[in-house]
Amino acid sequence: MPAPINDASARIVILTGAGASAESGLQTFRDSDGLWEGHDPMEIATPEAFARNPQRVYRFYNARRAQLEQVQPNSAHREIARLQDAYPGDVFLVTQNVDNLHERGGSAQVCHMHGELGRMLCLNCCARLPAPQAFDAQTVCPKCMAPGGLRPDIVWFGEVPYNMPSIGSKLAACDLFIAIGTSGVVYPAAGFVQEARAHGAYAIEVNKAHSDLAPAFHEHRVGNATEQVALLVEELLSGASF
Ligand code: OAD
């Protein structure tokens, strides 16, 4: 069992997935009513799909962006922000989610490894820019003024996620790794638990069911993120050691 961690030297890495935003009303990808049930990910979330049918891809992400305005952060987002704020040690938050609910829930530091719905990427000048509510192939890049080069700033299948070197350093130094609401089927995020454990971290999974990766964790908190994250944060802030 790792040493107690409830002081300024303690380091926690939290990884969130679509399950963290599910109770806000955003669909997950792989649950029975998930996004990928109605859409083939290979026809949406790949550079090849974008090259074949950009309109379909713009439409999909424009709809996701519009939906964000209809939803609110839930208590799991707010409790993670409270932990980041009040915990004496370092709490690094990395999310696979492309929504902005962690920020709206109060998190000052969020590492968006799969990009963000709120940003667009210009293939002409490589700028990453705030996205308007909707954009498409006719939209002119506000930086280089070229039309036709803007795509959603989302990391698609086959592309390298953002910030991998800093995520790797945080995983190598953490005492506690917590995965919340992720199915553990998409790499490299699915490998983070092994990476953290290889460096001696204790690992907790929070999920409404046991994920594919469940055997890799020391401990499971089974239930809805809103309820389980609140309990875990309360334990950590009241000095629980793992
Ligand atoms: P998934 O849809 O694969 O998994 C969601 C997980 O959340 C499942 O394990 C559910 O059991 C769990 N879950 C659902 N509701 C929950 C709740 N209320 N409380 C706790 N857990 C809950 O989503 P991700 O693992 O995030 O990538 O998917 C990873 C990546 O695959 C996404 O970032 C996306 C997708 O393709 C790209 O688009 C590049």
pLDDT in tens, 16-31: 999 999 999 999 998 8
Q: Mean pLDDT: which of 4-13, 26-35, 48-57 is highest?
A: 48-57
Nearest atom of ligand 1 to the alpha carbon of 156: 39
Confidence band (pLDDT; 50, 70, 90) for 137?
very high
Looking at 77, 102, 112, 114, which residue is catalytic?
Answer: 114
pLDDT in tens, 160-217: 999 999 999 999 999 999 999 999 999 999 999 999 999 999 999 999 999 989 999 9
Confidence band (pLDDT; 50, 70, 90) for 4?
very low
The pLDDT value given to residue 50: 97
Report how far residue 20's alpha carbon sits from residue 24's, in angstroms, rounded to the nearest whole number: 8
| Ligand 1, atom 18, residue with closest C-alpha | 224
The pLDDT value given to residue 40: 87
Confidence band (pLDDT; 50, 70, 90) for 3?
very low
Pocket lining: 74 vs ligand 1, CB cutoff 6 Å: no
Average pLDDT over residues 218-226: 97
The pLDDT value given to residue 39: 84
Report how far residue 43's alpha carbon sits from residue 55's, in angstroms, rounded to the nearest whole number: 11
Its pTM stands at 0.96
Q: Cα Rg for the chain, rounded, in angstroms?
A: 18
What would the DSSP string read from start to end of 176-236? EEEEES--S-STTGGGHHHHHHHTT-EEEEEESS--TTGGG-SEEEES-HHHHHHHHHHHH
Report how far residue 87's alpha carbon sits from residue 25's, in angstroms, rounded to the nearest whole number: 28
- CB of 141 closer than 8 Å to CB of 124: yes
Give distance in angstroms: CA of 21 to centre of ligand 1: 9
Confidence band (pLDDT; 50, 70, 90) for 5?
low
Pocket lining: 114 vs ligand 1, CB cutoff 6 Å: yes
User: What torsion, rounded to 10 degrees, do the Cα atoms 29, 30, 34, 40 define?
Assistant: 70
The pLDDT value given to residue 95: 98
Pocket lining: 45 vs ligand 1, CB cutoff 6 Å: yes
Fold assignment, 1-26+73-114+161-242: Rossmann fold (3.40.50)
> Where do the structural domains in the chain lie, given as residue ranges?
1-26+73-114+161-242, 27-70+117-154
Q: Which of 36-40, 77-81, 141-145, 233-237 has the lowest mean pLDDT?
A: 36-40
Pocket lining: 183 vs ligand 1, CB cutoff 6 Å: yes
Pocket lining: 225 vs ligand 1, CB cutoff 6 Å: yes
The pLDDT value given to residue 38: 79
Average pLDDT over residues 30-47: 87
pLDDT in tens, 111-125: 999 999 999 999 999
Confidence band (pLDDT; 50, 70, 90) for 9?
confident
Fold assignment, 27-70+117-154: SIR2/SIRT2 'Small Domain' (3.30.1600)
Q: Annotated catalytic, 114?
A: yes
Confidence band (pLDDT; 50, 70, 90) for 6?
low
